[in-house]
Structure 1
Amino acid sequence: MAVSLRARARYLAKRARSFRLGRVWGFATQISKEQGKHPVPVLIDMLYSAAFRDTAYLDYYEADFALLTRAERATFMTSLLQHHLAEALNDREAAKTFENKIAFNTAFAEFLHREWIDLSTAGVDGLRSFAERHPVIIAKVPVSREGKGVFRYDTAEVSEWTAFHADLVSKGQVLIEQPIVQHPYLAKYCAGTVNTTRITTYFDGETVRPLVIAQKFGRGAVSDQFTWGGFFTMLDENGRAVGPGHTGRHVSRYETHPDSGESIVDFQLPLWDEALAMLDEAARRIPAVPYVGWDVAIGPDGPVLLEGNWTPGLYETRVSATGIRHGTRPLHDRAFRDVGTR
């Protein structure tokens, strides 16, 4: 499916405004070092792909387009394609529920399976009472992305609760949550981080369709995102790893977790059917936002919903890490067709 002329024009105008030859040359030289290709042809191909193949420079680099044929590249999603789908399918007013974590927790409370409070309404006593039940707390900035604005506190160290409450509010960390206990199988990989699963779904009005499934692994930080040192592997329709893990941002290949030694290539998400059943229900909750990237954690007794992203986030394999030469774009065919009927 082609991106509309209006969307393409906006994209090209944005790329033109932000164009920096030095940055693009930096990608080209990095690809040259990693893949043994001359940087000038790579640069020309990157510019052509950005102008005519809906492929941003970072997409080109992260998906190893320099190693793929044109036909193989056509099977990969790109940022432009994904944003086009999200904007065409999702109602922007309804999507605000997904942009604010407090609004999201309120709307999807039954799927959270953890206690939380809003410091905008909970006073010092409410915070202290919460900490008595959960001595370690997770504090979040309600509007943030990529694991930014997420903090972990051990309240055993707090001596002045009024000052602690004021400090959290001043930093915007007003969403306080009970820490998630993950399934023992996932804890074997990294006990210090909740290793979450990004599952992108499309609700066509009748069926909830899982499209892209990526298993993220942490390295002991409060978040498993790349910005915190994490990496991911793609999962198949049965929740099983399709290859080694990688960061998507530089040369990396993880057949085993670098800290725990647990196998990435043999990973099988526990309680997979239960996770799909939960999302089948959650994805129908706000039908005006049918295209969502959900973050799911697997607890000892069942799946736990963390958040939903109305722009799902781009997860694709890298041939240099996995040997896999096809992407997830064909899985989006129904969503693309539905956009064409609007």
Structure 2
Amino acid sequence: MSRDVALTARMKYILKRLTSFDLSRVWSFASQIAEEQGKWAPRVFCDMLIWAAFHDTAYIDYYEADFALLSKAERKTFMTSLIQHHLAQAVNKRADIHNFENKLDFNRRFAEYLGRDWLDLDQADAETLKAFAEKNPVFIAKTPVGREGKGVFRYEASDVADWNAFRDELRDKGQRLIEQNIVQHPYLAEYCAGTVNTTRVATFFDGEKVHVLMAAQKFGRGAVSDQFTWGGFFTMIDEHGRSFGPGHTGKHKSRYETHPDSGKSIVEFEVPMWDRVVELVTRAAQEVPSVPYIGWDVAVTPEGPLLIEGNWTPGLYETRVSATGIRTGSRAKHRPVIEASRR
């Protein structure tokens, strides 16, 4: 049994899984895994139940990390959503996570790291919004609280005829945060010009040192967001800012050695200005010491990297052996935060 999650947290998780247990859904996962990976479905089904009950592995984690193809020892090198959620709950102070959970609060707290104009519609009338849009003909509207890019929208000023009505429409939809559209680095635009392709970097600040735990490069397909819900995919990034395998979605069987639209190489990708990206998140990670475990979304522009947002639960990004051939996950790099969660 894993020792990376406290017993009380594990028991709560098991109880929750039992009360919400959906036999048909688990069997559906097992059948899909068996078909994709040439396994026997009943064996996969039983294995999934065992790893959910005793090894902190949700069914979706089992599927996305290709656990059916890995040995027990190999599986133990991977992070899971339960472990990550437990770590975030254990080390991040609940009273201060609003600085990351609410995008308006985040923009106020991390204003010096944003590198873009923005406004809060609750504090801006129609004329102010119009003036902002005239300066930024393409602009982004966001719901202050949202996940997976679902609350992100792109607008063009030329499409708006009545600014009073438009402001009311945005507020009615909860799209209070208005931001300047980001112009990304030309190298990133070569991969997908229609989407700002961001880098996710997970960090942990132990009070003295900032540890970079994981990095992944996300790629879009032309939509307003590079998240999976908009068709995006990712590749894992090493400590030098380079891809160390093909890209994949993590959500279904996929493999991208090149970007499917631009044809640019994923396996040869390097994050531009990587040293400056690390320097940026290292500084930002020390701003709110009471929330030390964060997943940062960074956009690299021609002038340098800037922050898009910070996630107090960093998001699960792992390699996938069926796509990359890599059989080792990132749990070892998370030892600093795992050890801190036990104090």
TM-score (norm 1): 0.99
Report % sequence identity: 64
Q: Secondary structure at the match of 2:123?
A: coil
Q: List per-residue Cα deviations over 1:233-252 (Å, max 9, x = no partner).
A: 00000110000000001111
Given the alignment of the two structures, is residue 223 of structure 1 paired with residue 229 of structure 2, yes or no? no
Question: Which residue in the other structure is 1:16 paired with?
Answer: 18
In the alignment, which residue of structure 1 is the partner of 2:76? 74
Q: Does 1:40 align with 2:47?
A: no
State the Cα deviation string for residues 104-138 of structure 1 (Å, max 9, x = none). Answer: 00000000000000001101111001011001110
Q: How big is the shift at 1:334?
A: 1.4
Question: Match of 2:312?
Answer: 310
Mean alpha-carbon deviation: is it higher for 2-11 or for 129-138?
A: 2-11
Note the 1:125-204 alignment, pairs <5 A.
125-204=127-206
CA distance in 1: counterparts of 2:299 and 2:246, whole angstroms? 20
Structure 2 spans left out of the alignment, 5+ residues: none
* TM-superposition CA deviations, 1:146-169 (whole Å, max 9, x none): 001100001101111111011000
- Tell me what 2:300 maps to: 298
Equivalent position to 1:327, from 317, 329, 333? 329
Structure 2 SS opposite 1:146: coil
1:337 CA drift (Å):
1.3
Partner deviation per Cα, 1:23-76 (whole Å, 9 max, x = no partner)? 000100000110010100000000000000100000000000000000000000
Cα distance in structure 1, aligned partners of 2:339 and 2:203: 15
TM-score, scaled to structure 2 = 0.99
Deviations 1:160-195 (A, max 9, x none): 111101100000001000000000000000000000
Tell me the secondary structure at the aligned position of residue 120 of structure 1. helix
Task: Return the match for 2:90 from 79, 88, 95.
Answer: 88
SS of match in other structure, 1:182: coil
Q: Find the residue that maps to 1:188 and give its secondary structure.
A: helix
- C-alpha distance in structure 1 between counterparts of 2:303 and 2:82, whole Å: 38
SS in 1 for 2:28: helix
Partner of 2:30: 28
**TM-superposed deviation, 1:2:** 3.2
1:104 counterpart = 2:129: no
Counterpart of 1:53 in structure 2 is: 55
2:9 pairs with one of 7, 10, 25: 7
> Within 2, Cα distance between the matches of 1:107 and 1:307?
11
- For residue 179 of structure 2, what is the amino acid of its counterpart? E
1:213 match: 215
1:270 to 267, 272, 295: 272
Count of matched residue positions in the alignment of Structure 1 and Structure 2: 341
Aligned to 1:261: 263
CA deviations over 1:189-234 (Å, ceiling 9, x no partner): 0000000000000001111111010100000000000000000000
Counterpart amino acid of residue 62 in structure 2: Y
C-alpha displacement at 1:5, in angstroms? 1.3
- Write the letter of the residue equivalent to 1:278: L
